[in-house]
Amino acid sequence: MKITSTTKQKCNKYTATFDDGIILTLEDNDDNWKVISQCSIGSNSYYCKYGKYPSGNNLKIRVDMATRTIRAREERYKNEKD
């Protein structure tokens, strides 16, 4: 399980795409990350293999990976104009 991309959606919302076809949409509220939604893409995705979305420890690992990657790439994202 690796992150293939991250994208900034709005001022504090991000998406993280994983190589197993899962996309997480995350919201950052003062370093309190919250999963807003999950999406599955591709015929060989995690959802198609197991019939469910990641939850529990698997989801926690994904959120941790995504937040570390987003923080490392933070300077790449454009700042919104006031």
Residue 22 domain-assigned? Answer: yes
Reduced to 3 states, what is the DSSP secondary structure of residue 62? helix
Q: Which residue segment(s) compose the domain that 60 sits in?
A: 3-75
Q: For residue 81, is it within any domain?
A: no
Dihedral sign of CA atoms 51, 56, 61, 67 in order: positive
Residue 80 within any structural domain of the chain: no
> CA 53 to CA 69: how far, in whole Å?
21
pTM of the complete model:
0.82
3-class SS shares of the chain: helix, strand, coil, % to 5? 30, 40, 30
Q: Is residue 17 part of a domain?
A: yes
pLDDT in tens, the chain (82 residues): 899 999 888 788 999 999 999 999 999 888 889 999 999 998 888 888 888 888 899 999 999 999 999 888 877 776 665 4
Domain count, the chain: 1
